[in-house]
């Protein structure tokens, strides 16, 4: 239970593996742009109560493993990050404007996979066992 996070009305452990790429897979996230990208991502996460568990900023893509609060969907989180970083990086680094017309630094879409401590099989077994336990504790009350 030490890995669970808490809010005022919820205890949770929601993790996402997120990946997105630069438009045209251009190798532009290097040196100072890479450092600034990390910084901008960290700012977005702090304002949304997201915890970074692992990250890799490649020259043409971003990989993140994050823990998120239950009110924040993966797609909304990626939208915040891609929008903020694209706008600010292109304002600060004019060389990006020459390569990415239309103010689109990132390619459309992203990859997301949920991550957790248990597999689908364990959850199915737990639910199945809960059903058996409830039946043995109830007075033969069944829904059917």
| 66-87 per-position pLDDT tens digit | 999 999 999 999 999 999 999 9
Provide the whole-model pTM.
Answer: 0.81
What is the reported pLDDT for 1?
A: 47
Q: How many alpha carbons lie under 13 Å from residue 132 in its C-beta half-sphere?
A: 6
119 SS3 class: coil
Angle, alpha carbons 99-102-103 (nearest 5°): 75
Distance, CA of 122 to CA of 114 (rounded, Å):
15
Instruction: Write out pLDDT tens, residues 13-28.
Output: 999 999 999 999 999 9
């Amino acid at each position: 239970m030490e890995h669970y996070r808490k809010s005022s009305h919820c205890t949770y452990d929601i993790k996402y593996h997120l990946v997105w790429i630069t438009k045209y897979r251009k190798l532009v996230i290097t040196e100072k742009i890479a450092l600034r990208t990390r910084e901008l991502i960290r700012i977005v996460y702090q304002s949304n109560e997201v915890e970074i568990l692992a990250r890799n900023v490649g020259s043409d893509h971003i990989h993140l493993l994050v823990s998120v609060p239950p009110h924040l969907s993966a797609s909304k989180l990626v939208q915040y990050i891609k929008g903020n970083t694209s706008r600010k990086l292109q304002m600060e680094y004019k060389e990006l404007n020459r390569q990415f017309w239309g103010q689109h630094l990132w390619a459309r879409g992203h990859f997301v996979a949920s991550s957790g401590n248990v597999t689908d099989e364990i959850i199915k077994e737990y639910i199945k066992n809960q059903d058996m336990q409830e039946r043995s504790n109830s007075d033969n009350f069944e829904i059917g």
